[in-house]
Structure 1
Amino acid sequence: MDCLFFRHGIAIERQNWNGLEEDRPLTDQGAARTKESGKGLLKLRLRPTHILSSPLTRAHETAVILQSLIRSKPKIRICTELDPAAAPRALFSLLDALPADAVVLCVGHEPHLSLAAGILLTGKPCSGLSLKKAGACLMHIEESVKPAAGRLEWWLTAGQLRALA
């Protein structure tokens, strides 16, 4: 399985938002940069078969933008396992239930995604790993999804992804 962790794009700043935190949306610039990052992903010949998204608005908006770029238009599945308050390991059983040849795009938040990536790589959370907004990393998992079962293929910032577009 290939598992692509993608952090949501730039959202409205907390201090400029009067609504609920989970409803905080992307900015226009965040949406545009997310689209450009997504175009960079396509240059890497990634063809997601599944899209999993955090239930928070900014992540779901990011997932919709990325879905629009994918020719096969995989359905977006909202998953509480990608909520920033969820335990990073909760994502593993969800991923493990997917086909072994799946290419899974997980759209979520920091530090949740980098904690999950660290656990997949080493068996425990790793300091120093962090996804920038609209940045991504690709993990390859050969067999079952469990701690220390992942292999890092790449880790790219939004700027690096946009440069590929």
Structure 2
Amino acid sequence: MDCLFFRHGIAVEREDWTGAERRRPLTEKGRGRTRQSGKGLLAMRLVPTHILSSPLTRARQTATILQALLEQSIPIRITATLEPEADPQALCSLLTTLPSDAVVWCIGHEPHLSATAGLLLTGASCPGLSLKKAGACLIHVETHARPGTGRLSWWLTASQLRALA
């Protein structure tokens, strides 16, 4: 299984947003950079079999932008296991229900994505790991996504992904 962890794009600043935090959207710049980062993923021929997204607006918008770049329609599955405060183990448990040959795009938030990446890679939290907005990492697991079973394929910033587009 290949697990892509993709952080949502640039969102409206917290102090500039008057609505509920869960509904804070991407900015126009965030949408554009997300689209370009997604084109970088496709340049690497990384096509998903599954797309999972946090229910928060900015992550759902990011997932929709990435989905629109694909030649075939892959449904977006909204899951609370990608919410910012979710237990990283819950996402690992969800991933174990997917086929071992799946290519799963997980769109979410920091520090949750990095914590989950650290759990897959080492079996524990790894301080220092961090995904930039519209950045991504790819972790390969041979069979099921269990703590400590992952192998890091790459970890790229948004600007590196955009350069690949």
Pick the TM interval, shorter chain.
over 0.9
Mapping 1:63-82, distance limit 5 Å: 63-82=63-82
Cα drift, residue 72 of structure 1: 1.5
Residue matched to 1:134: 134
Give the Cα–Cα distance (whole angstroms) in 2 for the partners of residues 77 and 9 of structure 1.
Answer: 18
TM-superposed CA distance for 1:70, in Å, is: 1.1
Structure 2 residue 118 is matched with structure 1 residue 118: yes
Matched, 1:146 2:146: yes
- Alpha carbon RMSD of aligned pairs, Å? 0.5
Instruction: Give me the whole-angstrom Cα distance separating, in 2, the residues matched to 1:153 and 1:119.
Output: 15
**Residue ranges of structure 2 left out of the alignment (5+ in a row):** none
Q: Secondary structure at the match of 1:151?
A: strand
Map Cα deviations across residues 13-32 of structure 1 (whole Å, 9 max, x no partner).
Answer: 00000000000000000000
Which 4+ stretches in 1 moved above 6 angstroms? none
Partner of 1:13: 13
What one-letter code is carried by the residue in structure 1 that aligns with 2:74?
P
Establish whether residue 94 from structure 1 lines up as the match of residue 94 from structure 2.
yes
Shift of 1:125: 0.6
Letter in 2 for 1:120: L
How many residues of Structure 1 are paired with residues of Structure 2 in the alignment? 165
- Unaligned ranges ≥5, structure 1: none
> Percent of pairs identical after alignment?
67
Q: Separation in 2 of the partners of 1:119 and 1:97?
A: 17
**Aligned-pair distance for 1:143?**
1.5
Query: 1:71 offset after TM fit, Å?
Result: 1.1
Return the alpha-carbon distance in structure 1 between the equivalents of residues 70 and 92 of structure 2.
Answer: 24
- Distance in 2, Cα, partners of 1:13 & 1:158: 18
Q: Return the offset for 1:144.
A: 1.8
- Other structure's SS at 1:77 match: strand
1:33-72: per-residue Cα shift (whole Å, max 9, x none)?
Answer: 0000000000111010100000000000000000000112
Report the TM-score when normalising by structure 1: 0.99
Shift of 1:149: 0.5
Q: Return the TM-score normalized by structure 2.
A: 0.99
Deviation of residue 127 (structure 1)? 1.0
